[in-house]
Amino acid sequence: MVSPVFASLAARLASNTHRSAARSSTIRNDRAYDAQIARARASDDRQINDTERQTPAREPIDLFAAALAGDLSRVRAALREGVSARALNDFGATPLMQAAMGGHFECVELLLPHSLADLRDGAGITALMYAASCGSARCVWLLLEKGAPDLRSAKGKTAFDFAIERGHAECANLLQAKSVPKNTARMR
């Protein structure tokens, strides 16, 4: 017969062996799990690095903001990218109107062939009215030379009226000279 001391020692040893086997199994599982985690992290790192290496997506050029700021290079870039110069913003204004509003002659000159000078915004104001209102005689002259009509706004004002109200005599003179019919000028 087996002595009780030996039996208890054998039982303890068996349980320790079982625990040891379980522990080594757990260690193997932990190592496998750690390896999986490491592979996943490496894969994520590769994806992040690949994403970082890609050229970041460019924001579309805001032609309205570029025209209003008089940023000629951004206006050129927007037109090259195919941004429509005839688009309307929330107020019904075109990029040409925005450039005229800022008195940016070069931008007006660049946008004019791509836009319509007789378009009106939500208040019935044209690019010519904006140019006269801000006092840009060069923009007024260019718009008149390219055939921009001196229309009336929703409130019945013309570009001449805007120039007079704001005290822009040079713009008013240009507008007045253009509005005098040729035959009447000869009679005087």
> Per the structure block, which two tokens stand in for 54?
């890609």
Distances (CA, A) of 11 to 15, 34, 167: 6, 33, 108
Fold of 63-180: 1.25.40
For the chain, give every domain's residue range.
Answer: 1-57, 63-180
pTM for this prediction = 0.65
Q: 3-55: per-residue pLDDT in tens?
A: 565 555 556 655 555 554 444 444 555 666 666 666 656 655 555 444 444 44
Q: Whole-angstrom Cα distance, residue 146 to residue 167? A: 24
Q: 140-171: per-residue pLDDT in tens?
A: 999 999 999 889 999 999 999 999 999 999 99
Q: 65-123: per-residue pLDDT in tens?
A: 999 999 999 999 999 999 999 999 888 999 999 999 999 999 999 999 999 888 999 89
